[in-house]
Amino acid sequence: QVDWSAVSRQLHANAGIRVSKIALRGRELLVTGEQDRYFYPAKGLGRAARVLDRHLDADTDWFTVVSTREGLPVVESSVDRSRFNAFLDHDIDLKTLRLSVEQNAPLAAPEKVLYRPEPDRYTGGFSVSYSQNIGGPDAFVLYQLGANYDAEFRFTPNLWFNGTLHGNAFNNYDRFKYTAPSRLPRVRTHIREYLTTRRITMPIFQLTATRRLGVDWYGMAYAGMLESMYGGAGGEVLYRPFGERWAIGADVNWVKQRSFEQDFSFRNYHVVTGHVTGYFDLGYKGRDITLAVSAGRYLARDWGVTFDVSRSFRNGVRMGAYTTFTNVSSEEFGEGSFDKGIYVSIPFDLMQGRSTPNRARFTWAPLIRDGGAKLAKQYSLYTLTEDRDSDLFNDNLDKIGE
């Protein structure tokens, strides 16, 4: 008899998988759960396979990890048990093992559920926060340093509430001096007031629901205080066919501008905003280059299109640039004429002594203006389903033995 509760704890401790289900499908054992420790998916799969190998008899031939994000099944990663053990014993090389490793779209199929743990309803903890704006005319670096308490309560795997309480320790946004008259609604240029009016604020207070709508379809709905400047309600759908290098999504949101205190009160301004976005992995000369083209209505009620081009490197670092053009003239937009920026996203795994799936993002957008401004949503379906892009898995398959 297998103590599946103990196996589940070991899978989390050694493989970083927070297990939601363990099931048997023929001679294949499936572990469904969310990876919360290892940045490289192959590393989590290899560690899970070693844990399972110690507890199961010879009737099981394949080990499969069904990766989920916020209750959404994203990808199944499988490894042949005997071939994996042969690789660990140095009887076969990585090139041979690669023939016995698969990634597939999660499909509904008959299975025998062996274990389903009680979910953790409440999680919470403190963290340090830092935000910045580099290269603006008021100061080379505008920054804010503070502390957050993040809380989350799960009603079901696909329905949860989360909130953030923020304490502002230091910032120099009082030097942001944009006071010029604008023909556009002040949708972003009140940033000084939002960051200096009150020390303790509540940037996030949100209820979110996710659902897999089909084999390649995902959906999400949300309501509450969606970011520091706006609250309201909205939804998003994404079509991301497995094995393809493109996806298309759409979102629509009704939002109202929050008060400078960032509590439960609002200002008078409200807007319906949303976009249709196409994602294309260009794969230029083997490089993971992604183009995202987004068209729709922005927070200042202007209409236009945003182009975002980025490149992902083998170690997970992503660098990119974006630009937005709308029907607002350069005179209406103000200095800068249109919105643009450069960013880099770096896995914390490269900077810390222990593994983590989290990232640090740095953006250089020197001018804070109101034209071409998007809602800063907390979740994106394209990001939640990023494991469907197998490049990070395949490029780092050598980590399956670590």
Tens digit of each residue's pLDDT, the chain (402 residues): 899 999 999 999 999 999 999 999 999 999 999 999 999 999 999 999 999 999 999 999 999 999 999 999 999 999 999 999 999 999 999 999 999 999 999 988 899 999 999 888 999 999 888 887 766 666 667 878 899 999 999 999 999 999 999 998 888 888 787 665 567 899 998 988 998 899 999 999 999 999 999 999 999 999 999 999 999 999 999 999 998 989 999 999 999 999 999 999 999 999 999 999 999 988 765 568 899 999 999 999 999 999 999 998 888 889 999 999 999 988 788 777 788 999 998 887 776 666 777 788 888 887 888 999 999 999 999 999 999 988 889 989 999 998
pTM: 0.92
φ, ψ for residue 315 (rounded to 5)? -85, 5
Helix (H, G, I), strand (E, B) or coil at 19: strand
Helix (H) or strand (E) holding 170: strand 159-171
Give rounded-to-5 percent helix, strand, coil for the chain. 20, 45, 35
Q: In what order do the strands lie in the sheet with 112-115?
A: 101-104, 72-80, 62-69, 28-35, 17-25, 112-115
Which bin fits 44, alpha (ψ -120 to 50), beta or left (φ > 0)? alpha
Task: Please tell me the distance from the alpha carbon of residue 341 to that of residue 339, in angstroms, as a whole number.
Answer: 7
- DSSP assignment, residue 265? -
Give the Å distances, CA to CA, from 124 to 24, 36, 69, 104, 162: 33, 14, 18, 33, 9
* Structure tokens that stand for 175 in this block: 């030097």
Distance CA 374, CA 363 (A): 15
Q: Which helix (H) or strand (E) holds 127?
A: strand 122-134
The Cα 111–Cα 113 span in angstroms is 6
The half-sphere exposure of 52 on its side-chain side, counting CA atoms within 13 A, is 31
Per residue in 327-385, pLDDT (tens digit) is 998 878 877 778 899 999 888 777 666 677 778 888 888 788 899 999 999 999 999 99
State how beta strands 62-69 and 28-35 pair: parallel
Q: Which residues are CB-neighbours of 171 under 8 A, at least 6 positions away?
A: 142, 143, 144, 145, 146, 195, 196
pLDDT in tens, 288-312: 889 999 999 999 999 999 999 999 8
